[in-house]
Amino acid sequence: MLTPARTGAAVLTATLLAGLAAGPALADAASSPSPSAPAAAASPSPVAPPAALYGKSDPSYDGVWRQAMALTALNSAKVTPSAEAVDWLTGQQCADGGWPSFRADAKSACVAATEDSNATAMAMQALVALGGHQAAVDKGVQWLKANQNTDGSWAYNPGSPGDADSTGLAVSALRAAGTDPTQVAKDGKTGLTALGTLQLGCAAPAEQRGAFAYQAPAAGQSLSANALATAQATLAVAGGSLPVAAGSPTGAAPKAPDCSTGTGAPSGASTESAAESASAYLAAQLAANGQHLMLSTPGAAAPSPDYSSTTWAVLSLVRAGHPQQAAGAVDWLAANGAAWTKGQAGPDAGATAALILAAQAAGRDPHSFGGTDLVKQLTDSGPAAQQSAAKDAKDAKKKSGFSLWLVGVGVLAGVGFGLLISMNRKRGQ
């Protein structure tokens, strides 16, 4: 799932790797809020994807992320992924417990400075959803603890300033792994503490209150609302992780922060109020922009629809208890998302998986989402899925029933044949 937001991290990671090969390492100056890299950051020599990987595009910057998203989505759709695909993901894990964005040779040692917190968080959530991989998940938890910044945040790569996207993903991964994120702290500060410092409060313009900034501002600057940062961080403060279960379509609309008591207070003193404020921001932005969020790309004449942020907004709103505010965005994704999933090398596995997760969370059918069977599209992009245990049992039952039927027919035929012989004998007497 390639988005412009990962440009800095992707390019700087590649630069760092080149520096390690040729000389002293270069320090990462930025990290990314998104699990993707744009075409501009593609590797000089595109890497062919392994047979066990979902998607046919160069996996250099999103191999682990998209594999984890695919496995999570397929599992939520009651499809059992191939063992080969799962083994590939676990085989990418580094000795210290983290995951890189991609390792062409899983036997080679990882470069600690370029391990990817976003990929690690997503891999952990996928393995928890699949079950049976607790040892790998526990190692991931230890890696997150070891690479938490002193302000409680996480960066895309270790040693960089933290950001809301990476911190939100890490908090969700810890929660999925059964680790209380409020108990994972550096210098007394947790990931939720860090997110609180990045949420715009009453000092911000009214239309930005409740949003999250990507990173802390430079000295003298103010926090700036970021769509993807808000969409991913909201899932964390709402107590969620992937996959998100479908929610009740009823409930009150989210409330914007109450600023009647002052102008300098943060948007909320608790994670519950933080999630409510962020949900109100997301709902307002969706309503103001035709039920999708917008992306402002440097150099572009005008903002463009942001499919990735919109998908995460759906997941976060459903988890926060506001699926009715996500319904319009789900309709928009159903009508427009097919174009997003069409990559140059074939279906984009990460984007397809994200739409499956959003459809499932909204109670929609991913087999018929805007006229597309997303599950088939995803399975066709990677190794053949295993037959589910339920289908195996059903087939076995059918086979067993058919066998019993044959036995019954055989018995009846035998009885009939015996009666026929007996009658013929009597006639001959």
In a domain, 410, yes or no: no
* 31 in Cβ contact with 65 (< 8 Å): no
In a domain, 57, yes or no: yes
Is pLDDT of 237 > 60?
A: yes
* pLDDT band for position 131 (cuts 50, 70, 90): very high
pLDDT of 386: 78
* pLDDT band for position 301 (cuts 50, 70, 90): confident
Give the CA distances from residue 45 to residues 10, 14, 48, 58, 81, in Å, rounded to whole numbers and listed in that order.
15, 12, 9, 9, 30
Average pLDDT for residues 39-44, to the nearest whole number?
Answer: 49
More confident residue, 343 or 72: 72
Average pLDDT for residues 215-240, to the nearest whole number?
Answer: 97
Question: How far apart (Å, rounded) are the C-alpha atoms in residues 125 and 106?
Answer: 21
More confident residue, 25 or 106: 106
Q: H/E element holding 306? A: strand 304-306
In a domain, 381, yes or no: yes
In a domain, 418, yes or no: no
Q: What CATH number does the domain containing 287 carry?
A: 1.50.10.20
In a domain, 393, yes or no: no
In a domain, 422, yes or no: no
Q: H/E element holding 87? A: helix 83-91
The per-residue pLDDT for range 171-199, each reduced to its tens digit, is 999 999 999 999 999 999 999 999 999 99
Rg (CA), the chain: 26
Q: What percent of the chain has pLDDT over 90?
A: 72
In a domain, 271, yes or no: yes
| Mean of the per-residue pLDDT values of the chain | 85
Is pLDDT of 424 > 50?
A: no
In a domain, 161, yes or no: yes
pLDDT of 252: 85
Write out the E strands in 321-382.
342-343, 346-347
pLDDT of 198: 98
pLDDT of 271: 85
Distance between alpha carbon 347 and the CA centroid of its chain, in Å? Answer: 17
Q: Say how many domains are in the chain.
A: 1
Average pLDDT for residues 268-281, to the nearest whole number?
Answer: 87
Is pLDDT of 387 > 70?
A: no
More confident residue, 231 or 270: 231
Is pLDDT of 265 > 80?
A: no
* 327 in Cβ contact with 251 (< 8 Å): no
Place of tokens 């572009």: 300
More confident residue, 263 or 179: 179
* pLDDT band for position 1 (cuts 50, 70, 90): low
Classify 262 in phi/psi space as left (phi over 0), alpha (psi -120 to 50) or beta: left
Range of the domain at 55: 4-386
pLDDT of 24: 31
Question: Would the pTM count as exceeding 0.85?
Answer: no
Average pLDDT for residues 37-61, to the nearest whole number?
Answer: 79
SS3 190: strand
Range of weakest confidence among 208-212, 262-266, 285-289: 262-266
pLDDT of 390: 42
